[in-house]
């Protein structure tokens, strides 16, 4: 009897040991996310006074009524559309009188899975979810009573990771959307994974525009050349300083940027074999590893300073598993003879080690040259402007009643 009992004890101990190792491994891999969530609970909510910008500029709260604010798309008549992920909402942020102060915030889509990507085209709002793109026609006249969404495309592949999508219309009139890899590093199978694809506004004629793009959550077009530029987030678990995130340039369709076998300019993946990095299109600029570079826009104005005209602003969402946190900022990339220069800090302060109280996601210039920054960590959008200009906007905002946040019943 002692023998069978002893064996059962040893088996139970072995099972407990395996479960313990697995639990520790999962906790180790998630340690960054656990740390980030903990610190955001300690220091949450909009904190415009914490944001540091260059001399002569100020950062102010545009609206704090946009839970999980992520990608932004500017429509006409002072309407800004804003997607989210966990919140499941799409917002319309309205400046009715053009004074750069928010008058209303409506929810125009509610309870949807990760409706991150938003784009406005021909009177309709387009929204990207993990499996589909929908369209809300005639949205500007129905912000308080949104129309039912119409399906544009509904057969995207979905995987465990990187399901949320970025969405924008190009100067060619086609609708571009990112489809992230379903993994950290793998051969994804479906050829639509790890790409930027495009389709006509009605969802027809879908084609792959760029391949080998692990996880892009931001792209834009040069205002003069009309060529596509985008960010791409590098894989995890190759160390604190490898591989880099990427700023990529796709002047034509059909380029392959290397994922899953190559990262950055010359980092061969240790788990996925490939033909070598020389076979792929190299990044236009390596970016801070694990900085999580997301939304970007060219700046074609001089309101923030002449030196910024023609360059790129990029939002850094911030690292989640690096031993020392990086990112949580907006950086500026100057363009020198058509080539991106060294990134430099522009707006910082979201990271106060060890506390990260917010996470920049996207940037959007306004007509007056001020710059909006969305932050899904604090549920806010900030506006960066030249000090002394439009000061009436801040005074007007303080004097108004609270905006009608979440005013609309939505689908």
3-state DSSP assignment of residue 345: strand
* 3-state secondary structure at position 121: strand
Q: Would you give per-residue pLDDT tens digits along the chain (411 residues)?
A: 556 666 666 766 666 665 655 454 544 455 555 555 554 554 468 999 999 999 999 999 999 999 999 999 999 999 999 999 999 999 999 999 999 999 999 999 999 999 999 999 999 999 999 999 999 999 999 999 999 999 999 999 987 899 999 999 999 999 999 999 999 999 998 999 999 999 999 999 999 999 999 999 999 999 999 999 999 999 998 999 999 999 999 999 999 999 999 999 999 999 999 999 999 999 999 999 999 999 999 999 999 999 999 999 999 999 988 999 999 999 999 999 999 999 999 999 999 877 899 999 999 999 999 999 999 999 999 999 999 875 444 433 433 333 333 333 333
HSE on the CB side for 245, CA within 13 Å? 27
Q: How far apart are CA 13 and CA 23, in angstroms?
A: 15
Q: Report the run of H or E that residue 287 belongs to, with start and end.
A: strand 285-287
Which residues lie below 8 Å from residue 402, measured CB to CB, with a gap of 6+? 65
CA-to-CA dists, residue 270 to 101, 274, 320, angstroms: 51, 10, 22
Q: What pLDDT shows up at residue 404?
A: 37
CA distances from 209 to 241, 250, 288, 303, 334 (A): 29, 9, 25, 34, 26
DSSP letters of 130-199? Answer: SS-EEEETTGGG-TTSPPPPEEEE------SS-----EEE-TTSPEEEEE--SSSSS--SSTTTTEEEEE
CATH of 47-399, one of 1.10.1740.10, 3.40.50.1220, 2.120.10.30, 3.30.460.10: 2.120.10.30
- Which among 53, 109, 121 is positioned nearest to 82, based on CA atoms? 109
* Every domain of the chain and the residues it spans: 1-42, 47-399
CA distance 234 to 230: 13
| Pairing between β-strand 207-211 and β-strand 255-256 as defined by DSSP bridges | parallel
52 DSSP 8-state letter: B
- Alpha carbons 383 and 396: distance in angstroms, whole number: 15
pLDDT at 411: 33
pTM for the model: 0.87
């Amino acid at each position: 009897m002692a023998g069978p009992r002893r064996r059962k004890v040893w088996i139970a101990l072995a099972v407990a040991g395996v479960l313990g190792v697995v639990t520790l491994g999962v906790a180790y891999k998630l340690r960054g996310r656990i740390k980030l969530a903990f610190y955001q609970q300690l220091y949450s909510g909009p904190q415009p006074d914490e944001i540091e910008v260059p001399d002569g500029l100020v950062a102010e709260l545009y609206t704090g009524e946009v839970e999980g604010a992520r990608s932004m798309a500017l429509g006409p008549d002072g309407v800004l559309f804003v997607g989210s992920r966990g919140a499941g909402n799409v917002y319309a942020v309205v400046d009715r009188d053009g004074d750069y102060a928010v008058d209303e915030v409506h929810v125009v889509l509610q309870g949807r899975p990760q409706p991150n990507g938003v784009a406005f085209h021909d009177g309709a709002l387009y929204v990207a979810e993990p499996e589909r793109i929908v369209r809300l026609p005639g949205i500007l006249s129905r912000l308080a009573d949104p129309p039912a969404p119409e399906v544009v495309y509904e057969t995207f592949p979905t995987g465990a990771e990187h399901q949320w999508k970025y969405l924008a219309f190009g100067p060619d009139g086609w609708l571009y959307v990112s489809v992230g890899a379903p993994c950290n590093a793998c051969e994804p199978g479906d050829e639509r994974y790890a790409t930027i694809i495009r389709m006509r506004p009605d969802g027809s004629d879908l084609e792959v525009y760029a391949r080998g793009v692990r996880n892009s959550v931001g792209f834009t077009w040069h205002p003069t050349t009309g060529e596509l530029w985008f960010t791409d987030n590098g894989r995890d678990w190759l160390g604190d300083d490898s591989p880099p995130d990427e700023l990529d340039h796709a002047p034509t369709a059909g380029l392959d940027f290397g994922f899953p076998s190559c990262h950055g300019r010359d980092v061969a993946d240790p788990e996925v074999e490939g033909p070598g990095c020389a076979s792929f299109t190299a990044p236009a600029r390596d970016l801070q590893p694990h900085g999580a570079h997301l939304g970007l826009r060219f700046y074609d104005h001089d309101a923030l300073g002449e030196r910024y005209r023609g360059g790129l602003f990029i939002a850094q969402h911030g690292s989640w598993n690096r031993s020392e946190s990086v990112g949580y900022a907006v950086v500026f990339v100057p363009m020198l003879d058509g080539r991106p220069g060294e990134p430099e800090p522009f707006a910082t302060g979201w990271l106060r080690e060890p506390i990260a109280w917010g996470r920049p996601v996207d940037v959007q210039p306004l007509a007056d040259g001020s710059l909006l920054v969305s932050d899904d960590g604090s549920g806010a959008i900030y506006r960066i402007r030249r000090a002394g200009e439009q000061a009436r906007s801040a005074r007007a905002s303080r004097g108004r009643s609270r905006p009608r946040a979440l005013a609309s019943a939505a689908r």
